[in-house]
């Protein structure tokens, strides 16, 4: 999906679920390292990772958490959203090449400030890799 959704505040209901699947590759890990400057060897050095608790190179947690940006920016709410905050808990390692589901579940709508709260999760075979909470304000008028 390359076109952002454009949900209105009134389109979004508590308990609705928005989700997509994604696989982060080794090249993506190198791309994130270059973008951010995080060249920590746990992500990039095979020999270093072998001696770590994870045994293999893992995806940067904040790259996987970057998929919450996609959830908010492309799926719910998309174009009309202003990202207010995100919490992120790194629960288990993600290895390059593993497919994940990125899922947002609407948990709250605050009408007065047009703010929605989403429970956000990165899941591998329904097991939590990362979880947290996103808060997003909706732009637009009273009718939207």
Q: What are the residues binding its own copies (CB under 8 A)?
A: 1-4, 20, 22, 28, 31-32, 34-43, 48, 52-53, 60-63, 65-70, 73-74, 78-79, 81-90, 139
- Pick 81 or 104: Cβ nearer its own copies: 81
Structure tokens at 120: 């956000």
- Pick 2 or 143: Cβ nearer its own copies: 2
Q: What's the closest the beta carbon of residue 67 comes to its own copies, in angstroms? A: 6
Q: What's the closest the beta carbon of residue 93 comes to its own copies, in angstroms? A: 9
Query: Closest Cα to residue 21, out of 123, 140, 138?
Result: 123
Q: What's the closest the beta carbon of residue 43 comes to its own copies, in angstroms? A: 8
- Pick 88 or 106: Cβ nearer its own copies: 88
- Pick 16 or 70: Cβ nearer its own copies: 70
Q: What's the closest the beta carbon of residue 54 comes to its own copies, in angstroms? A: 9
Please answer whether residues 22 and 68 qualify as being in contact, where contact means their C-beta atoms are separated by less than 8 angstroms: no
Query: Closest Cα to residue 9, out of 141, 120, 118?
Result: 141
Please answer whether residues 29 and 60 qualify as being in contact, where contact means their C-beta atoms are separated by less than 8 angstroms: yes
**Alpha-carbon Rg for the chain in angstroms:** 17
> Quick check: bond before 24 cis, omega within 30?
no
């Amino acid at each position: 999906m390359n076109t952002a959704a454009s949900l209105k505040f009134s389109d979004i209901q508590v308990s609705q679920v928005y989700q997509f699947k994604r696989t982060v590759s080794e090249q993506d890990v190198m791309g994130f390292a270059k973008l951010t400057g995080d060249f920590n060897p746990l992500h990039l050095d095979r020999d270093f990772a072998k001696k770590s608790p994870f045994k293999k190179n893992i995806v940067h947690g904040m790259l996987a958490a970057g998929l919450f940006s996609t959830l908010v920016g492309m799926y719910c709410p998309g174009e009309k959203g202003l990202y207010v905050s995100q919490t992120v808990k790194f629960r288990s390692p993600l290895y390059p090449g593993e497919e994940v589901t990125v899922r947002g579940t609407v948990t709250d709508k605050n009408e007065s400030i047009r703010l929605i709260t989403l429970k956000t999760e990165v899941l591998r075979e329904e097991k939590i890799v990362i979880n947290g909470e996103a808060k997003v304000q909706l732009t637009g008028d009273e009718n939207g």
